[in-house]
């Protein structure tokens, strides 16, 4: 059962990365440029953040797991880009160049 879950997780991740990487980067850029608060005090996504993602992605084209991974990936990009811009990270190898500028 666990192996099936892991396989499904990697298939979702692969699909999102292949199909949506450019959109995920664009969403992260929009979040950072517009000052959208992407997480609340309890570390859940804010409504403003969710609404911004929906502007870029048609929910009818993706499963819940795929959309959830998009949120996770955008959050990762935002967190690492913010850490870079604040000086915490010196060499953000996993942040797209568009978010470092």
pLDDT tens digit sequence for 7-64 = 666 777 777 777 777 888 898 889 888 888 877 777 667 788 888 888 998 888 888 8
**What's the whole-model pTM score?**
0.75
Q: How many other C-beta atoms lie within 10 A of the C-beta of residue 50?
A: 13
Angstrom distances, CA of residue 45 to CA of 14, 22, 85, 94: 23, 21, 21, 21
Question: For 17-27, what is each residue's pLDDT tens digit?
Answer: 777 778 888 98
Neighbour-count burial for 20-38, b at 16+ CB within 10 Å, e otherwise: beeebbebbbebbeeebeb
In the prediction, which pLDDT does 60 show?
A: 87
Q: Which of 71, 8, 78 is nearest to 45 (CA)?
A: 71
CA within 13 Å, CB half, 43: 3
């Amino acid at each position: 059962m666990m192996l099936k879950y892991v396989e499904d997780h990697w298939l979702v991740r692969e699909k999102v990365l292949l199909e949506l990487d450019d959109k995920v980067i664009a969403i992260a850029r929009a979040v950072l440029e517009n000052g959208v608060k992407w997480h609340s005090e309890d570390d859940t996504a804010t409504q403003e953040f969710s609404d911004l993602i929906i502007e870029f992605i048609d929910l009818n084209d993706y499963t819940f797991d795929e959309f959830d991974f998009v949120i996770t990936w955008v959050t990762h990009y935002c967190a690492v880009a913010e850490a870079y811009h604040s000086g915490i990270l010196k060499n953000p190898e996993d942040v797209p160049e568009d978010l470092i500028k």
